[in-house]
Homo-oligomer: A and B are copies of this chain.
Amino acid sequence: MIKMILDVMGQDAPASEFIRGAVDAVREYGVDMTLVGDEDLINDVFIKEDLSMEKIDVMNAESFITMEDGAMSVVKEKSDSSMNRGLKLLASGGGDAFLSAGNSGALLAGATFIVRRIRGLRAAFGATLPFDFPTLLVDSGANTVVTPADLVSFAKMGRIYCSSMYHRPDPTVGLLNNGTEETKGTPLQKEAYELLKSADVNFIGNVEGFDLTSGKADVVVCDGFTGNIALKTAEAVGRYASKSLEEALGRSVLSKAAALPLRKKLRETARRFDPSEYGGAPLLGISKPVVKIHGSADARAVKNAIRSAIYYVSTGVIYEIARNSSTLVYKDGAPVGKEKK
C-alpha cells in the first residue's frame, strides 16, 4: 500500500482545502495518508466538514514554515515544523512520498539535507506545462545559478521522468534559449548546447518561449531563474485569458440557458492551461519522492498532485534516475568530466 505524507501548513490556501483534497484522494485512489500540521486544527476541519478519517493518520507539528522564512529554517530554527516532520518521516521510511505547497526554498533545503540527493545530482523542480502536449520544464525554480553540466543533468532526469510519467518512448529535449540558432544565448546556453549535443538524450536543439505551448520538445531545460519567470508568466497569461473570456461571456447578450453549455466548454478549455491540472512538480534529483504542490492549489489541485505522486512512486522514476546518475559528460566523444561534482 502506497502511503502519502502531506504537509497541510504554510501554503497560501487554507489547510481545509488541503485536507479535503487528501480525503478525496484517499477515497478515489485508495492510498494511505499522513497529514502533518497542527493536530487541533486538522481535527477541527474533519469534524466541521464531517470528513472520513479512514486510512488517514495525523502527525502533529508545533510550527510551520512561512513564505517569509529563510530556506535553512526548516533544518535549523524550525526543526519542529510540519515540513521538517514530514520530510523526516519520508526519510525514515514512514511514507512513500512527501507533498507540500509551502516555501519552495525551504522545501529544496529540507529535501536536500533531510532526505538527501542522489549522489552526483543537483535537485531541480520539474513543472509540467499542460498544453496540448505536456511539456516538462526543468529547472522550474530550484537553482537560480547553474552550470552547463547541470543543464545536461536536468535533461537526463527530465527525459526519464517524462518517459515514465507521460509514456514517451524517447522524449525530445530542448534548451530554452532566446532563438533557435546554435550560437544563441549567454555563455551558459552556448556551452550547454555543446554538451547536450553529445549527451545521451534526444536533443533537438534550442527552443524558444513560443515552444512552451507548441509541444516541440517534451522536456525543456533551463536554469531555475529563467524557469521560474517562464512558468509564472505562462500562468499569469493563462489566468488573465480565462478571466477576460469569462467576463466577455458574462457581458454577452445570450440568455442564461444558451450561455450555460458554452460557459462549461470555455471553463474546460481554460482548465487546459491551468498548471494545477497536472499535479505537482517533483524535486528531481532527491533520493525519494518530494513533490511541490502549486502555491494557490485548491482541493482538486491537491488531489491531482497526489494522483501524480502515486504514479511517480509506482513507476520507479527515482531508481531509474539513480541508475543513470554516474554517467560522465562527453564532449566530442571524450569524457570531459563528472556530470556534477
Closest to A103 in B: B179
A211: Cβ under 8 A from any B Cβ = yes
Closest to A268 in B: B248
Q: Which of B209, B210, B253, B265 contacts A230 (CB 8 A)?
A: B209
User: Across the interface, do B213 and A240 meet the contact criterion of CB distance under 8 Å?
Assistant: yes
User: Across the interface, do A248 and B226 meet the contact criterion of CB distance under 8 Å?
Assistant: no
User: Across the interface, do A269 and B254 meet the contact criterion of CB distance under 8 Å?
Assistant: no
User: Across the interface, do B178 and A237 meet the contact criterion of CB distance under 8 Å?
Assistant: no
A131 to B224, CA, bound (A): 26
A63: Cβ under 8 A from any B Cβ = no
User: Across the interface, do A145 and B273 meet the contact criterion of CB distance under 8 Å?
Assistant: no
A56: Cβ under 8 A from any B Cβ = no
Closest to A131 in B: B240
Contacts of A54 in B (CB 8 A): none
Contacts of A328 in B (CB 8 A): none
User: Across the interface, do B141 and A178 meet the contact criterion of CB distance under 8 Å?
Assistant: yes
Q: Which of B68, B181, B233, B249 contacts A233 (CB 8 A)?
A: B233
Range class of the A interface residue count: 35 or more
Choose among A222, A225, A254 the residue with the greatest number of B CB atoms under 10 Å from its CB: A225
Q: Which of B184, B209, B252 contacts A232 (CB 8 A)?
A: B209
A214 to B243, CA, bound (A): 12
- Min distance, Cβ A130 to any Cβ of chain B, angstroms: 11
A313: Cβ under 8 A from any B Cβ = no
Closest to A176 in B: B229
A237 to B222, CA, bound (A): 19
A225/B185 contact (C-beta < 8 A), A237-B241, A273-B240, A273-B241 known: yes
Closest to A70 in B: B183
User: Across the interface, do B248 and A266 meet the contact criterion of CB distance under 8 Å?
Assistant: yes
Residues 202 to 242 of chain A near chain B (Cβ within 8 Å): 208-214, 222, 224-226, 228-242
Contacts of A244 in B (CB 8 A): 269, 272-273
The 7 closest A-B pairs by CB, nearest first: A209-B232, A241-B241, A209-B233, A178-B228, A237-B237, A213-B240, A213-B236
Given A209-B229, A237-B241, A238-B241, 14 other A-B contacts at CB below 8 A? Answer: A141-B178, A209-B230, A210-B232, A213-B236, A213-B239, A222-B229, A225-B226, A237-B273, A241-B242, A241-B245, A249-B262, A252-B262, A253-B261, A254-B258
